[in-house]
Amino acid sequence: MRAVVTGANRGIGLELVRQLHARGDTAEACAREPESADALQKLAGHRVTIHRLDVTEPASVRALAAALGDAAIDIVFNVAGVYGGAHQSLRQMAEDLALDDVARTFDVNATGALRVALALLPHVRRGSVKKLVHVTSGMGSITDNTSGGYYAYRMSKAALNMMSRSLAIDLRGEGIASYVINPGWVQTDMGGPSAPTPVTDSVCAILREVDGATLADSGEFLNWTGKRYAW
Ligand SMILES: NC(=O)c1ccc[n+]([C@@H]2O[C@H](COP(=O)([O-])OP(=O)(O)OC[C@H]3O[C@@H](n4cnc5c(N)ncnc54)[C@H](OP(=O)(O)O)[C@@H]3O)[C@@H](O)[C@H]2O)c1
């Protein structure tokens, strides 16, 4: 199985590459700055190829698609994400109507994932597994939003969720599935040290859920615990 992983230099993306490699899969691992991706560089070689990719740059996404050539890609893991800046409360946002952080967060978390999915569709069509997997967040769930705030992050992940549902509908006829998955609250730079879930456990669960998901599950909001997440 050959998978593309974005945001592969640290956190969930890096661990995904590690676990894919460990179980014998091939990873096309994407990082914004490969030259400083030390942990990822240690995995490079047999079955791990590193690509430069900034998901906000159309030329960078096109270059990835070109570098993959005629390769068949089985699964695209859209993992790259940002938390949306420090000023995401209602009060802070009302004071600073520039909302630059919202636009930037959208560009990575939602539009960036769409850019990658669209550019790699020809490769996924050639694959045998045919899955698009987008790492979302419980904070993108409308049902789960009982505390407000975090506008940029919540809005971007809700948009990602909608993107996945549309891809699922539009690609079902070709046998290509699209899912969002909540990885839990994970010990990474983004999740911070208080997060309860080691990144190894989260990624192990992500792979279990993605491996088990079929075309019948396409368009669903998967959850690392094995249950569906409420939209
Ligand atoms: N950790 C959690 O508790 C948690 C919970 C729910 C959802 N998630 C989601 O899980 C995913 C991975 O999060 P994480 O915890 O592993 O975060 P992380 O440790 O902060 O890693 C984020 C990754 O995204 C990459 N990235 C950021 N902007 C990018 C861009 N423009 N182009 C390409 N790559 C870019 C980063 O690359 P650089 O190093 O170059 O910045 C890094 O590899 C994210 O989508 C996040 O929203 C995480």
Over residues 176-223, the pLDDT tens digits come to 999 999 999 999 999 999 999 999 999 999 999 999 999 999 999 999
Query: What would the two tokens of residue 20 be?
Result: 């894919």
Q: Is 121 in the pocket of ligand 1 (CB under 6 A)?
A: no
Q: Is 7 in the pocket of ligand 1 (CB under 6 A)?
A: yes
Q: What structural domains and CATH numbers belong to the chain?
A: 2-223 (3.40.50.720)
> pLDDT class for 109, splitting at 50, 70, 90?
very high
The 10s digit of each residue's pLDDT in 50-74 is: 999 999 999 999 999 999 999 999 9
Q: Is 78 in the pocket of ligand 1 (CB under 6 A)?
A: no
Residue to probe by mutation, ligand 1, list 56, 77, 82, most atoms within 8 Å of CB: 82
Mean pLDDT of 126-149: 98
Nearest ligand 1 atom, CA 13: 16
Instruction: Count Cβ atoms within 10 A of the Cβ of residue 193 and give its class: 0-12 exposed, 13-18 middle, 19 or more buried.
Output: exposed
The 8-class DSSP code of residue 33 comes to -
Nearest ligand 1 atom, CA 139: 6
Note the pLDDT of residue 72.
98
Mean pLDDT of the chain: 97
CB 46 within 8 A of CB 17: no
Taking phi over 0 as left and psi of -120 to 50 as alpha, with beta for the rest, 4 belongs to beta
Note the pLDDT of residue 85.
86
Give the count of beta carbons closer than 10 Å to the beta carbon of residue 141.
20
